[in-house]
A and B are shown apart, each in its own frame.
Chain A
């Protein structure tokens, strides 16, 4: 199957919802433009209402783009109704057919395609086996647990062997442990079938751990596209930096661009070198220095770049999160190596030092 994987192209798509009652129109998606490579899993990540579901529904055919085109493989499917597209969607609420048992739910797409009875039976059995639900074939969906329902929805979508799998927050109704298991499961199945997938979530951990690439959206606009590690450590904006992980921001002034993408800046007069910088920053600019908790260290007062007092220590088992009150607000420092690092008591005066290779300069923008 992996041979005939197809790409999905979203080309300059805008979706505008006409709003009745005299209110303004809503631009749910603005000039969205990205390509999902064959066999790739791309996540749409963003806060609530940023247009993720709308994008997905346009790929599935439930919404019509106001402008722009959508291609599956080479075929322009912009106007094609959902039942004629080679996509299968796993809905957030699953949308299982309550009047059919599990096997009939899974068989539905095959029956619509008028496959021979025997073939339907084998395929359904295989699909249920794939998601580990073989014993529950006769159950009514209303009598399944959330995780089981989720698997039925997945099996129902996979059994028709779609070219594109679309998942809209499929795990949001599950508890944390099950979520992790299902995440791994979905990834395994998607990889083994070589299916192209678009996955919608607002959970950054899910997005980071699951995807080949992540599309970060806000207010209907794509803010950044990239592999998870790049999104995490080399965001282009404060919004992306903040959305995909814990981060501390410091207002700085850019002094000069250094070598290999690095840059020099000053934070309240203190010179700091940042390992990387977003494109377009030049000397004299106001900028923001971003630092992940793991790229900060605690030092004795006066030795680091920013002084402050410890306000709380939160023990997480393998690590400690230490909160430090500073002039720039409360800064989180992650301490991984409990034996080597000295822990500071609450109220103690400390200083925060940067791991200069891992901090990054970002343009300051009000977002």
Chain B
């Protein structure tokens, strides 16, 4: 493939492009420089003319020059009786420089020009000793101050202007030139060397997306924690690694430990009942155990507050408790457990399903008691799954933002501390550092789960689930389990019921009379948020879906250098807490070259990038089931890669495509941890509106919006079910 002719041509084209690129760059830079100095000359000359004659007033006047050019320093030279120009007022350091370097050709020329009433700018750059105002190097401007006749001077204005501004533009221009070169060469090489340019461009495009919207912001976030006022400093980390914040780290970890443990226990109870017992109503139980996974943020917290808060229905009205508080660790563990045990349930039930129950039968047959069978067979076999579930919940709990925001009280966790740091103290660097701190336990758990536990799994997928069911629980155990699960189910139903009830109550906690007025009120106040949220989610959904399926095709079918890196970068947002991503995005995209803060684009991009990992996994799993010969046959019959993708791949992985889109939609509708940093007056988000209403103690309005959100989410899932229902037939024949 890499034949000489092509390489030679590439070299030629590259040289041609580089010269063109350099020429455009340098002429643009030259043009910009001359425009800049022209306007500067004009401004300075005009300012110079306003110089007061009164020596006392000159000191004040010269200070005004600093407003003319941000961060500049200046001196006023007056013509003395001898005809010499001498410093009359202004910055000491600049004056010193003029004096010591008076013999510099630059300075001599400057003074000469001024005498001929011509302004002048130094050809070289000079640096000034540090002092007030600008530091670093810059150019020195000389402007004449003409006398009344206008034919001679009475003084001169000398201004030192730091080069930073022009430099920044130069830097930007240089960056653009380099980027143009890279893009051009990448596209040219793909066209010249790849036998499948479409695939080549897909790979390049994915790399560009993850580089710009995953790697770059995270790198910026990390970099800026080491920068204070434009210089390298460990100040931020010194401040973060103090007891106050380490306590929050420990708070996050402690909460994670508790939630992971309780969620795994609850999830195991549900999974055991569904997969290893003959209890009836399994379908209902497993629906109830998966439902909370799609509950919007704040909704469960909201109903917990409505029931057990300071003015809660149960805590205050029914039990009359006055010193009880739900705020803090206990409340958080309860809400997180309800919200996250479904993760454990889903993991554990698939693990239990995969364990061949004939193994348990064999143990029972050999005379082991049920308990013994459970302890020596079932549990050890399920152990990797249990650990995996525990770690998954642990990561989720650490990253959780919405629940602690409303319910933490005086208990401190990192995700909300980072938020407070950014919004309350306007300390972006500190917020970034805090959320980076959160990355430590999160990534540890993530990698442990992904690469260690999954490898230890003993579960052998036989492909034929045994239909026979071993009754592994004795009657009292079964009844106990049923009672526990029943209690949980009732609790979950009660929580959802409370949200709905909250819509119709006048003033929760004080006045429980029925009202319908919350609904129009909340909908009209929240209307913009609803429209914004649905619009942005609807825009992100097809983009994320298509991108995810493209990525799946690339990852499963293409072989290229850097594939693992691409995969890792795409997967990164899955392991990184939303708070960090949100902070990283505002840090990276509030300045050139990619200025996006406040736009809809930044929110959509955030959705897309964050939901890409799950979409990719779904699509890849589905694609791996498909015989590659099917795609090869299509290609062999004359279809190019885009056609194969459109007519073969996409229809075949339609279920994955649709489910990843509905997942993206729902997750975007219920996003909060990253989005809360990215919303603006122009683009708002429903979940943040719910939070705001809750903070204002407008629980009725918050309930209405939460209910609306739940309805939208359920509708989206219903629609997906409908679309994917008749896929069974296709799926069965795909792998022939």
**Chain A residues packing against B (C-beta within 8 Å):** 60-62, 64, 79-84, 87-89, 91-99, 108-109, 112-113, 140-142, 153, 156-157, 160
Contact = CB atoms under 8 A, between A and B. Distances in A.
Given A79-B195, A83-B639, A98 B736 contact: yes
A141 B733 contact: yes
Interface in B338-373: none
B648 A109 contact: no
B132 to A, nearest CB: 61
Contact of B638 (A60, A112, A141): A112
Nearest to A89: B636
B632 A95 contact: yes
A92 B627 CA distance: 11
B1 interface: yes
B635 A83 contact: yes
Contacts of A98: 630, 652, 730, 733-734, 736
B147 interface: no
B629 interface: yes
A87 B178 CA distance: 43
Given A79-B195, A98-B730, A93 B638 contact: no
Contacts of B648: 97
Contacts of A84: 638
Contacts of B651: 99
Contact of A160 (B1, B638, B643, B647): B638
Nearest to A62: B632
A8 to B, nearest CB: 15
Interface residues of B, number: 27
B711 interface: no
B732 interface: yes
A238 B632 CA distance: 37
B196 interface: yes
A88 B734 contact: no
9 contacts: A82-B636, A83-B638, A91-B633, A94-B736, A96-B736, A98-B734, A98-B736, A142-B733, A142-B736
A57 to B, nearest CB: 9
B617 to A, nearest CB: 22
Contacts of B640: 81, 83
A95 B196 contact: no
A93 B636 contact: no
Contact of A92 (B629, B730, B732): B629
B729 interface: yes
B482 interface: no
A95 B730 CA distance: 14
Contacts of B31: none
B379 to A, nearest CB: 35
Specify which of A61, A112, A142 lies most central, judged by the most chain B CB atoms within 10 Å of its CB.
A112
A108 B634 contact: yes
B638 A109 contact: yes
Interface in B691-718: none
Pick the 8 closest A-B CB pairs, nearest first: A142-B733, A95-B629, A109-B637, A95-B633, A98-B733, A91-B629, A81-B195, A112-B638
A111 to B, nearest CB: 8
Given A81-B195, A98-B736, A89 B633 contact: yes
B632 A89 contact: yes
Nearest to A64: B1
Contact of B632 (A82, A96, A140, A157): A82
Contacts of A141: 733, 736
A278 B632 CA distance: 42
B637 A156 contact: yes
A27 to B, nearest CB: 18
Given A64-B1, A96-B736, A99-B730, A113 B632 contact: no
Nearest to B627: A93
A60 B632 CA distance: 10
Interface string B641-661: 001000110011000000000
A82 to B, nearest CB: 5
B1 A88 contact: no
Contacts of A62: 632, 635-636
A49 B510 CA distance: 80
Given A88-B636, A109-B638, A141-B736, 9 more contacts: A62-B635, A80-B195, A82-B635, A83-B638, A83-B640, A96-B633, A96-B736, A112-B634, A112-B638
A49 B640 CA distance: 29
B473 to A, nearest CB: 41
B205 to A, nearest CB: 19
Contacts of A157: 636-637
A206 B245 CA distance: 76
B42 to A, nearest CB: 61
A173 to B, nearest CB: 10
